[in-house]
Amino acid sequence: MAARTALITGISGQDGAYLAELLLAKGYRVHGLTRHVSGAGVARLPGAAWREAEIQGRLQLHLGDLLDGTSLTRLLEAVRPDEVYHLAAQSHVAVSFGVPEYTFDCNALGTLRLLEAIRGLGLIGHTRFYQASTSELFGAVTERPQRESTPFRPRSPYAISKLAAHWHAVNHREAYGLFACCGILFNHESPRRGEAFVSRKISLGLARIDAGLQDCLRLGNLEARRDWGHARDYVEAQWLMLQQPAPDDYVIATGEQYSVREFFQAAAEEAGFDLAWEGEGIDCVARATAVPSGSRARAGQVLLRIDPAHLRPSEVPDLCGDAGKARTQLGWQPRTDFRALVREMVAHDRAVVRGAG
């Protein structure tokens, strides 16, 4: 039987890298859409596995952009994929307040361009489509935990763009019969997470502080609570959705919730620091009362301060998901708990920073 073919948009991102590995291991031929500016991101795929698959012709990258419908149509026409995993996006919530039009163009219209290309090429009955929806759709939550039936109440240009994309995918399913699934994924992190997201900013920042390369971390809202999982576990759910007899939408989450402050505390402990918290609100600081042996940091050093520049015009304070439907229907459940996730990220970034030194 011929190998199944998948197209991943956003292959150079965190999820794209894990998903490409998963699909290659399952014997797929994998095609990836990459932008002209990609390159650093592509490095998130382990070099050896990446090159080996390329040599075998099982992995191919193609130039394209969500802002360029022609490139999307041309690529879909050439590849005629069995499965499309649409992961590409301007995915940073804080950035979306600064570039709201761009964010909407990329995330909402980009998704529509892709869906319409599938339809225009007559691929509706052939291609299955995964849409990267998000817990940010729930925004100012109306119930806890959030499940598939929880109303959407977005609170950022990012969330609004993703809401439009979500409904376009659902509409192509209902209006034209496309096998389209929306995964409503809660935050998922990993050592491959972009450095501007808070989890990675913390794990990398602590490694740099330990090495004497940075004085302290400057963060925004410490009290926001998130349901944090591991990206490696979450891409399995993306694949499982497209293997079902019928398309549907699923919440993917751990069901556990920790604040940004608790993430920092756990990461500091994993890095070998003891902490004392002082002050309130924007005067809050975390001070090291003990440092790991061999560290360039010193006891008494302030490791964390609040920087109002990182506060958002509107915040999503409280997310926690119920992935009961995915557990029952997909047989999916997270493998990595919060502490193991934090430990892996901290250990990875310590090794990276020490290696670089």
Which residues contact ligand F7E by CB under 6 A?
91, 93-94, 134-136, 186-187, 196-199, 201, 219-221, 224, 226, 260, 310, 312, 315
Q: Centre a 10 Å sphere on the Cβ of residue 148 and count the other Cβ atoms it contains.
A: 16
To the query of whether residue 258 is one of the catalytic residues in this protein, the response is no
Q: How far is the CB of 161 from ligand NAP (least distance, A)?
A: 9
- Distance of alpha carbon 18 from alpha carbon 49, whole angstroms: 12
Beta strands in the chain (DSSP E): 5-9, 29-34, 59-63, 83-86, 128-134, 179-185, 188-189, 217-219, 225-226, 229-230, 250-252, 258-259, 274-278, 285-290, 302-306
To the query of whether residue 270 is one of the catalytic residues in this protein, the response is no
Among residues 136, 236, 270, 344, the one annotated as catalytic is: 136
To the query of whether residue 134 is one of the catalytic residues in this protein, the response is yes
- Distance of alpha carbon 45 from alpha carbon 32, whole angstroms: 12
Residue 273 in tokens: 């620091």
* Residues between 284 and 343 with contacts to ligand NAP, criterion CB under 6 A: none
Q: Which residue, among 319, 323, 215, has the nearest Cα to 260 in the 3D structure?
A: 319
Q: Which residue, among 334, 317, 186, has the nearest Cα to 259 in the 3D structure?
A: 317
Q: Which residue has the tokens 């307040």?
A: 97
Residue 13 in tokens: 């991102």
Please select the residue that binds ligand NAP; options are 72, 76, 124, 132, rule is CB under 6 A. Answer: 132
Which does residue 220 bind out of ligand NAP, ligand F7E, none, counting CB within 5 to 8 angstroms by kind?
ligand F7E
Among residues 134, 150, 254, 336, the one annotated as catalytic is: 134
Total of chain residues touching ligand NAP, rule CB under 6 A: 27
* Binding-site string for ligand NAP from residue 2 to residue 31, where x marks contact by CB under 6 A and - marks none: -------xx-xxxxx---------------
Residue nearest to ligand NAP (CB): 13
User: Measured from the CB atom, is 91 or 127 closer to ligand NAP?
Assistant: 91
Active site residues: 134, 136, 158
Binding residues for ligand NAP, rule: CB under 6 A, are 9-10, 12-16, 33, 35, 37-38, 41, 65-67, 87-91, 106, 132, 134, 185, 187-188, 194
